[in-house]
Structure 1
Amino acid sequence: MSSARFGVVLAWVAVLIYASSNSIVTLLTNIGAENLVYGRNAITFCNLLFLGSLISLIPMVFFFWRDWTRENLRKLTKSDWVFLTTSAFLSSALTPGLFFFALEHTTVTNVVLIGRIDPPLFLLAATFLLKEELDPWAFAGGIIALVGAVVMIALKEDSTSFSFGKGEIAAVLATLSFIASTLVTRIGLKGVPLGIFTIYRTALGTVVYFTWAMYLFGPHHFQDLFQPVVLKWIWVYAVIVIIVGQFAWNLGLKYAKSGDVALATSFSPLAAILIAMLLLGEDPGAGLIPGALVILLGIGVAQYGRWKRDMAEKQASQKSLELEGSVNFKGA
């Protein structure tokens, strides 16, 4: 198997793992509810997030410790540290905290569908805030996929199955926080080594989340963190989602073409819904097929635009080579 095909396979593996992450988290909390400790569910969303983040630092340090040199740290400016700290708060504390809160109060399917506001909103934000050129095909594809999500929600058989409650509001806020963290990263962290960025963001975000949870919920909030049932099942989340997921994703990005990675990630929402059906028995309702078809149409539109752009760039490159070849004198 060539390295390119190997990268494509790993990219799809990573996408499927990340698509299953919400369902795995919900499934683990359900297991905790069936194995109470002194009448309490020890496998809470907070325990999973905090302990999982701590465990995730192990592979990060293993892969990226070489970036933590005195020379690299001296190069960082005050502005870099401000952006690093902001990114850590948004991406490793606020965003996952809101997503976990959303999962605690609504279904995985609803969280996934609400997340479809991400692609078009991010493209607009990148256009107006980062002054990047708007890709009309990608934007159109994102809007069409969002319409598919609306169709899926609107055609649910039980009219009470979807209500815009605190879980759905948290999902919207989590998506907005994720967009903001991505923008912060792209604006201010281009020159920061990946290892410093990844480890600092995760470590500080974990500390912030722990402090925040202790302040909001009290000193007994993490009292069941090291209960045997938690230590037994946390490895399902840590090994599958964090370690294998990150390993496959990093290698997929390294060896696969960007178009192949983009195509794999496009199917993430549909994969997440199907996995929620298999693992949790969630029923998306009668809107599954028509909504999925509309989402697939959106994916197709975005992929067509990407293919068209790549062909245009390839033709321009070939034309440039032809013009260069027609010139006999190329200088001394």
Structure 2
Amino acid sequence: MQKVINRIPGRAYLLLAIIIFAASNSVTRKLTELGEQNLIDGRNPISFCNVLFVGNLCALVVLFFIYRRQCTLQTFKAIPQNSWFGLILISLLSSALAPALIFMALDLTAVNNVVLISRIEPPLILALSILILKDRVNIWVIAGAIISFVGVALTVLLQEPSTEMMQMGGLSIGRGELMAACGAIALAISTIISKVALKQIPLGIFSLIRTTIGTIVFFFVVIILYTPSHFMDVFSPFLWQWMSIYGAIIVVGGQLCWFAGLKTSGASDVSLASSFSPIAGILAAYLILSEAPTMAQYIGGSVILVGIVLNQIGVSRKMETSAPQPSINPVKEMEMEVGFKGI
């Protein structure tokens, strides 16, 4: 069995991970709709808060089972102090703040909007990498990032007026779209921090610590902002029945496929696989939710695809002119152009 798994190319793992991650938004919305059809004393047992909290708990159980051998006192002591600070900050941004914002966005706007607006993340990562890390990129990559950013802007600005719109600088922007953009910004910042602060942390320890901190912080934030009754149905068998599947497939399965792909793939393979993310997300919304794209989404999505194509041309040319690179560090690049991963 292990030999068969080892024969599977890294690109296949990456593509499977992208499909799983891209479907997470639609699956989350579908689960909340199932909860609305099975209310408990008028409450939805599969609320967005419960999905995030219980999904993290399910992921923690599976991740601990997989990486339990790495969980030793010696391993934790070997982590430098400055890496701990970076790890905590990444956990707050990518495992607590970003998922919470994206889940709230899913409650306020169409899944396709969240999928397309989340594509603001790669251009932001590129801009921050150039400004902070002094990365050198070619004109094709820069042009692709700018055009993708324009596509995201068109998706937001061409939306039909609704009651969820709010005024910002003379422009009407939906609250859901704004939260999706803020979630993508949080993920982009966490990616830059991971490139700077995390270099020698074992993959299992990174995943466990990030998920644990994110779960704890999210729990207390909800308790403070709302009330403890917000988690009243967190032990509902109906909730755990669905979240066990969600946590195992979407959260853990997707990340394990992603990590397996990173071990044997180069940056160009990762970039190419990630380019399918918006297409997979829109197809998932149509197949799972029967949500057809609007005209604004067609226009913005088409422009984003042009930007992705230009980015791929730039990545390919960079690979042709540079020396062969070793396989990607799974921890350092785990956030690379993937966006929301279900938690």
Return the TM-score normalized by structure 2: 0.83
The corresponding residue for 1:117 is 120
Question: What is residue 294 of structure 2 aligned with on the other side?
Answer: 285
The equivalent position to 2:14 in structure 1, one of 8, 11, 14, is: 11
Indicate how the Cα distance of structure 1 residues 93 and 289 shifts in structure 2: closer, same or farther if over 3 A, else same: closer
Indicate the RMSD between aligned Cα atoms, in angstroms. Answer: 2.4
The reply on whether 1:313 has 2:322 as its aligned counterpart is: yes
Call closer, same or farther: CA 1:77–1:97 in 2, change over 3 Å. same
Does 2:230 match 1:230? no
* Greater mean deviation of Cα atoms: 146-155 or 234-243: 146-155
- Taking a change above 3 Å as real, the CA distance of residues 65 and 302 of structure 1, as seen in their structure-2 partners, is same
- Using a 3 Å threshold, how does the CA distance of structure 1 residues 68 and 145 change in structure 2: closer, same or farther? same
Question: Quick one: distance in 2 between partners of 1:5 and 1:295?
Answer: 30
Count residues with an aligned counterpart: 314
- One-letter amino acid matched to 1:111: V
Is 1:201 the counterpart of 2:210? The answer is yes
- Contact 2:123/2:148, CA 8 A, preserved across alignment: no
Structure 1 spans left out of the alignment, 5+ residues: 316-332
C-alpha contact 2:56 2:215 (8 A) present in aligned 1 = yes
Q: Which amino acid aligns with 1:104?
A: D
Equivalence for 2:76: 73
Please give the per-residue CA displacement for 1:185-229, whole angstroms capped at 9, x wherever unaligned.
222122322222221111111111111111111111111011122
Matching residue of 2:183: 174
- 1:291: how far off? 4.2
CA-to-aligned-CA distance 1:83-138 (integer Å, 9 cap, x gap): 22212111111111111111111111111222122111111111112222244322
Q: Is the 8 A contact 1:35 1:41 kept in 2?
A: yes
Say which of 55, 59, 64 aligns to 2:62: 59
Q: Which runs of 5+ in 2 are unaligned?
A: 166-172, 325-343
Name 1:320's counterpart in structure 2.
Answer: none
Q: TM-score when scaled to structure 1?
A: 0.86
Provide the residue aligned with 1:252 in structure 2. Answer: 261
Q: The residue matched to 2:134 in structure 1 has which SS?
A: coil
Match of 2:108 among 86, 105, 110: 105
2:227 corresponds to 1:215:
no
Of 194-203 and 284-293, the range deviating more from structure 2: 284-293
Q: Judging changes above 3 Å, is the alpha-carbon distance between structure 1 residues 89 and 2 closer, same or farther for their aligned structure 2 residues?
A: closer
Is 1:265 the counterpart of 2:265? The answer is no
**1:310–1:5 CA distance, 2 compared to 1 (3 A):** farther
Higher helix content, 1 or 2: 1
User: Are the aligned partners of 2:116 and 2:301 in contact in 1 as well (CA < 8 Å)?
Assistant: no
